[in-house]
């Protein structure tokens, strides 16, 4: 592997982020979120979900690195 996990993970999110945004916008613009409560709930799940997925990659990488170090020692 020529790049670090962090570099690859961030590059992946640079490409996936706009696609995620397009999907979020299509759902928002579809008219299915009729009430302000629906809209608030939608954003309360979508934005933290995106951040959680992003941060979980670093947690997975940290656990994997720990396992690899344990195997080498």
What was the pLDDT predicted at 64?
A: 84
Q: Tell me: the pLDDT tens digits for 21-48?
A: 999 999 999 999 999 999 999 999 999 9
Q: How far is CA 40 from CA 23, 33, 37, 57, in A?
A: 17, 9, 5, 26
DSSP code, position 3? S
Rounded Cα distance, 73 and 67, in Å = 10
Task: Locate the domains of the chain by residue range.
Answer: 1-11+45-65
The burial class, CB within 10 Å (0-12 / 13-18 / 19+), for 55 is exposed
pTM over the 0.85 mark: no
């Amino acid at each position: 592997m020529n790049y670090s996990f962090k570099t690859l993970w961030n590059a992946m999110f640079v490409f996936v982020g706009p696609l995620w945004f397009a999907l979020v916008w299509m759902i928002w613009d579809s008219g299915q979120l009729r009430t302000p409560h629906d809209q608030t709930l939608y954003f309360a799940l979508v934005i933290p979900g995106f951040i959680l997925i992003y941060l979980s990659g670093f947690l997975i990488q940290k656990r994997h690195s720990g396992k690899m170090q344990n195997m080498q020692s």
